[in-house]
Amino acid sequence: MKRAVVLLSGGIDSTTTLAIAITGGYEAYALSFDYGQRHQLETEAARRVATSLGAKDHRIAQIDLRVFGGSALTDDVAVPKRRSETEIAQGIPVTYVPARNTIFLAYALAWAEVISADDIFIGVNAIDYSGYPDCRPEFIEAFVKLADLGTKAGVEGRRFQIHAPLIKLSKAEIIRKGIELGVDFSLTHSCYDPKPDGLACGECDSCLLRLKGFREAGTNDPIRYATI
């Protein structure tokens, strides 16, 4: 069975990506990060999802992104609330974490090399997250070149593949795809700024995109929100 490392945050996109890898016949090695998120809900969701979908292994790497600052997701900067679709679509948001996907893919590559996997799955999406430079197809292609040049495996002739199966899908299409593959979205977590009791805020960009996605997919979001 072919092995693949799958980056898993425990949100809608990475969960659907894990389901795609597994139904595609890969033995999935799920990789999550504890990077000084404001809350541990994200890694807990990743844990639930990995178990539920039958990942072969799941590791959580402790990494330190707070050491530099520079993002609302790692610093004490306010997460924007109730932004309109136009506002969300414009520019690079304060929730952008510098070089995050470069760091995540570098770790995925390290694990892939150790377990002799040639395939890495990442749930990046260039539609809803057009503001994030490291979610674009050309970024992924540049990483593949780097992976082949920068590893023992690459030098020995193995060729890495980075799969980004959601890159051109809308959130509604991702949700439909996930449901089709049997994903239980009640296990997932998306909110950037959850309430103390763990409920999603319903107002940050991530909640708004998620809710819109479920609306457009014509189905209910199974998680509970503080505001709804």
How far is it, in rounded angstroms, from Cα 112 to Cα 148? 12
Which 76-105 residues touch a second copy, going by CB under 8 A? 92, 96-103
Stretch that binds a second copy, among 10-18, 130-138, 166-174, 201-209 (CB under 8 A): 130-138
Residue where the block lists tokens 């969300």: 88
Which residue, 161 or 227, has its beta carbon nearer to a second copy?
A: 161
Binding of a second copy by 110 (CB under 8 A): yes
The arrangement of strands across the sheet holding 119-121 comes to 27-34, 3-7, 119-121, 161-163
Q: How many residues bind a second copy (CB under 8 A)?
A: 44
- What is 160-217 written as a DSSP string? -EEE-TTTT--HHHHHHHHHHTT--GGG----SS--TTS-B-S-BHHHHHHHHHHHHH
Stretch that binds a second copy, among 39-47, 66-74, 196-204, 209-217 (CB under 8 A): 66-74
How far is it, in rounded angstroms, from Cα 73 to Cα 96? 8
Binding of a second copy by 154 (CB under 8 A): yes
| Token output for 24 | 């595609």
Binding of a second copy by 200 (CB under 8 A): no
Which residue, 123 or 154, has its beta carbon nearer to a second copy?
A: 154
Q: Which residues contribute to the site for a second copy (CB under 8 A)?
A: 59-65, 67-70, 92, 96-103, 106-107, 109-111, 113-115, 133-134, 136, 138-139, 142-143, 145-147, 149-152, 154-155
